[in-house]
Chain A
Amino acid sequence: MNFHDELSRHGADAAGESARRLGTAEVRAQLDARVRRGRRARTLGGAGVVASVALVAVGVWAVAPTPNDEQEPTGIHDIARAGPYSYEASADSRRGDPEVKLRGDAAVMCGDTVDLTSGVTVHDSEGFERSVRLGAELTTLGETTDATPPATPVPLDPNKPDGLTTGWDPLQPRWSVQLSGDVGSFELVTLLMDGQTVAGMAAGTSGSSNVTGRIWASGGAPIPRIGQCDDSLDALSAEPGDPMETLLVAQYWGASTSTNEDTTLLATIVIDPALPPNAGASLPVFKENNAFSEGSMNGPQDGVNPDLMKASQDIQDRFACGVPWNLEAGYYPRDGYAGPMPEYTGSLAPTAQNAEETTTVGEFGNPPVLDASAGDLAVRTSLVAFDDGFYDTFVLAWVQDGVIVGNQRVSMAAVQFVGDSDTTSLSTARGGDSSAPGIGWAPLSAPGACANGQGPDFPEDGDYQLHIVHEYGTADAFVDDKLVTTSNGAPGVDVDRVEFRSGDAYTQVVDPAGGPWTVHVIGLTTPVTLDDPAKLIAPDGDVHQAFVMERAVPGCSALADIRADGFPHNDAAQYQATLAGVTGSLTGQLWMGDTVATLAAGEDPWYLGRDAWLVADGVSPGKANPHVEWTSVDGSWVLAEGGRDPLEAAECAYLDPRISVSGAVFLVIDGVDPAYYNDPSTDFFALPEELQTWIYLGHTAPTS
């Protein structure tokens, strides 16, 4: 059988209907129009300014990220604004059958004719009770993300200067969306309408939860273009359709007491930008905030509570770097507030890391933990209980000489209801303990790290006080209703002792009880000296000591340079890796094409086929860290020097290889063992493709 022919047959069979659609007069007309528009845009050079009725219009290129000049110019589009809108199901909401479905066999698709009614339509009686809500505002991509397009876009691939770049267009239209409900799952799409016909559609976001409780989601929903039907990302990279012809549609599913099915469609909310705003003030726009990306919220799922976002931004501003610290320990209720105060049943003090093992959801009183293992500073606090309140916001503030010199918003999540109280803990979006939802680690910034780059320069060594500010209150989507601000030092808050490290800094906290905590920072401004390189352990058969570290930056001896700096360090993640078939002779011959490892036919470990390199303490002369590649030989796989080296910079030149090597020898493999990466005991602050695994092969054999 010829696989080429098989693919041809399969493609032709599958795409017959596509071919028919492509051949229609409608598609031809659209293509002609797009070509003309693109040519006009090229002629204008992207600098045109267009006026349109009732809209401010600015000519932009709409590509993200952008190629330098090979990409189709995507034309001129208007900056359309509409809203804000806010709809929430209530007892007065309309009840009816769904006019459209976003899931299932009858899910909407391009070409469908639909007649959608704006606002809330409840489909099951449970839908009246679940507080389903959708808020949205038509804005721009730049306003829905804190990412900033680079002033000078650079190619993603240095070898292709005319290829894809890091540039993108912040003026591209975008729905800013906030969505919530006590539901099991939700789906949000943007439909581009041609009258009552769906001309394009793009997925906004979706989510589900196995935990009973509220789901929040917030972010940007793309504007599809005509003919775009399922590639939501394409909305970032091409000329979108007219945003004023879109409809934002959200549907919510959950358990119904009448049907006892967890997949009951509860309600649909449709937002039409042609209607006047129905919310009084602009939405607190959620942004993908790089400065706090590690601390973004964990609700019952990956959604974001918009109230929390707004409150967090507010408290962040009030405790910004450079602002005098004047908050004594204690409670600060809002004027007129006579309700209950937060009741801290546990300690907010940091303590030893082994407390982690005793922390479980619902168990109050566990102290926070500063993590020394992940390479970054990280913090996990005790659980806090309080009787009421809808949102929490925590800020950690470093103070020196009465002035805030570092601040960090730390995310909180209400993770479980215990009796009449909410249970809240510091948590992170990543690295949470799957068996204890919401419990996880938040990275702790060092003094001098301020939100959005504000604040002082990197601080000198010295003493710093670490404060926690906690605010909680009730709020609806758009009305901040702060109740209580609490500074640490309040009753029940005490201080213990903590030590922690990071990859490039060493800090120590030795503190009296009673807080705030005094932190003696040592070594932050001194050059990095690694006095704690990893102790290397000789392989035991196929079992090797392995380290997981950040992927190297290309250079002429990228990996050897890292080794020369003293890595792998003891702070690196370590585990015992099984690496079969490694040669027992670690000499310069490996640099000359000798076999590094052999895999028998049928073996398929995670590292097979990945880019890999050899690294040794001493290499002379020749290429310090040669690339090795897998090749198949009679069904087995052989790893030996060769292949294209993605870590080799273009300008490199090497001496003729007459290689002798000395010292420790490592095999560095791109990526990380998925089993190790996904192990609940590991907590990586990087994606797998951003990591490399250093496998210690042993010391070189004595040179004769």
Chain B
Amino acid sequence: MTYAVLSGVTFGLCLAAAALLLRSYRRSRDRLFLLFAIPFFILGVNQLVLGILNRPEADLPFAHLPRLISFLFIIAAIVDKNRAVRRRTKLRLVHDKEPERPRRARL
């Protein structure tokens, strides 16, 4: 019973986190947030299913797959962030600074 309830709570919070990360993606235009939002969604649904079945992962043969996929997304996000230099083209959210100002190039 506790497991089912906590699974439901986890599902709800995962969806909330995924939504907030999607919002962050919209605001920042940084792909990383999208690549993080998807895992939270997957893991949330995963936990919901486990909760409904009331069968924690121990018994299930493919229980590790959603987790694998999710973490591959996260790893992809980190790799993507560290790949070759991309020019930052998005406008900064704070007021624009003058071009004459000495600026360290943001990669």
Our verdict on whether A and B bind, yes or no, reads no
Chain B interfacial positions (CB closer than 8 Å to A):
none
